[in-house]
């Protein structure tokens, strides 16, 4: 691994890049995950590599949805597993959500490697090794899900989604939370809660909001959901990118 000096102005972004490289070497992340990371980095640069206020509100609403759900599920792909394994386990613990591995470029080897990796990071139960149900109307490999996981979920959090599945999950009546740095991408456009932020900041911040909201009343959790305006959040993210003000 190449050393990144801590005083490098973009050291955080370079560390993230190396985690994805290591993920590919470990058989967790698909090679296309490197390309996805590059696209994400470009948007993150334009956002100022920070959590903008509208993304923080989305993360609070996401936490409230996960806490209120009967069957919340965190859907994990190769990039999420490489970047934030500890944070995913912490978010599952904070919200009572199940963890399920679900891949666009699905192979049994990578499903097993990711599930083992998450268990090494403290996950007690990882679903997705056996895909005994399907998301209707979806032809990609992402249609294969666990009957007692994503198929039965009422709220699903998906990092780096493809738009087709986002729509198919919506058609099943599920509330979908999408984390994607590109506000123009189809999946945040159709998600109930689009979170336009880097996974490495979004997942721990959703967990922090979940800890805070868990101590509050049902009313306050409902307010966090009702106060969130998805259209306004998408517009704010696009405006932040277009403004070019990197503060």
Binding site for ligand PTJ (CB under 6 A): 30, 32-33, 35-37, 39-40, 43, 77-79, 83, 103-105, 160, 162, 179-182, 185, 198-199
Which one, 24 or 96, has the nearer CB to ligand PTJ? 24
* Nearest to 100, CA basis, from 140, 169, 156: 156
Which one, 66 or 68, has the nearer CB to ligand PTJ? 66
Q: Is position 46 annotated in a ligand binding site?
A: no
For the CB of residue 174, give the shortest distance to ligand PTJ in the complex, in Å. Answer: 18
For the CB of residue 27, give the shortest distance to ligand PTJ in the complex, in Å. Answer: 11
For the CB of residue 160, give the shortest distance to ligand PTJ in the complex, in Å. Answer: 4
Q: Is position 217 annotated in a ligand binding site?
A: no
Q: Is position 242 annotated in a ligand binding site?
A: no
Question: In angstroms, rounded to a whole number, what is the distance separating the alpha carbons of residues 76 and 102?
Answer: 6
Which one, 77 or 189, has the nearer CB to ligand PTJ? 77
HSE-CB at 187 with a 13 A cutoff on CA atoms is 21
Residue 17 vs residues 22, 27, 74, 194: alpha-carbon distances, Å: 9, 16, 23, 23
Beta strand pairing status for 133-134 and 144-145? antiparallel
For the CB of residue 158, give the shortest distance to ligand PTJ in the complex, in Å. Answer: 10
Residue 197 vs residues 8, 104, 145: alpha-carbon distances, Å: 22, 21, 26
For the CB of residue 73, give the shortest distance to ligand PTJ in the complex, in Å. Answer: 15
Q: Is position 198 annotated in a ligand binding site?
A: yes
Residue 10 vs residues 23, 117, 180, 218: alpha-carbon distances, Å: 20, 27, 20, 40
For the CB of residue 184, give the shortest distance to ligand PTJ in the complex, in Å. Answer: 9
Q: Is position 10 annotated in a ligand binding site?
A: no
Angle at 28 between CA 121 and CA 59, to 5 degrees: 60
Q: Is 84 helix (H, G, I), strand (E, B) or coil?
A: coil
Which one, 30 or 209, has the nearer CB to ligand PTJ? 30
Q: Is position 187 annotated in a ligand binding site?
A: yes
In the complex, residue closest to ligand PTJ by CB: 40
C-alpha R_g of the chain: 17
- The answer to whether 113 touches 26, Cβ cutoff 8 Å, is yes
Q: Is position 182 annotated in a ligand binding site?
A: yes
Which one, 28 or 68, has the nearer CB to ligand PTJ? 28
Residues contributing to the annotated binding site: 17, 39, 180-182, 186-187, 198-199
Binding residue numbers for ATP: 17, 39, 180-182, 186-187, 198-199
């Amino acid at each position: 691994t190449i050393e990144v000096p801590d005083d490098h102005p973009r050291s955080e972004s370079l560390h993230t890049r190396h985690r994805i490289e290591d993920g590919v070497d470990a058989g967790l992340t698909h090679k296309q995950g490197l390309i996805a990371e590059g696209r994400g980095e470009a948007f993150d640069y334009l956002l100022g590599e920070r959590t903008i206020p509208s993304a923080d509100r989305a993360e609070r609403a996401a936490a409230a949805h996960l806490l209120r759900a009967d069957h919340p599920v965190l859907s994990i792909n190769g990039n999420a597993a490489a970047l934030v394994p500890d944070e995913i386990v912490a978010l599952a613990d904070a919200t009572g959500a199940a963890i399920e591995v679900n891949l666009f470029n699905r192979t049994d080897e990578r499903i097993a490697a990711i599930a083992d990796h998450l268990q090494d990071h403290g996950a007690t139960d990882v679903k997705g090794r056996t895909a005994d149900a399907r998301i209707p109307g979806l032809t990609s490999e992402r249609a294969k899900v666990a009957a007692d996981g994503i198929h039965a979920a009422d709220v699903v959090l998906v990092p780096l989604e493809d738009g087709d599945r986002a729509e198919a999950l919506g058609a099943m009546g599920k509330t979908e939370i999408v984390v994607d740095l590109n506000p123009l991408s189809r999946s945040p456009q159709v998600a109930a809660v689009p979170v336009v932020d880097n996974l490495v900041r979004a997942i721990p911040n959703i967990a922090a909001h979940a800890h805070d909201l868990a101590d509050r009343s049902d009313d306050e959790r409902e307010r966090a959901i009702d106060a969130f305006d998805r259209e306004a959040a998408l517009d704010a993210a696009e405006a932040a990118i277009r403004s070019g003000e990197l503060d």
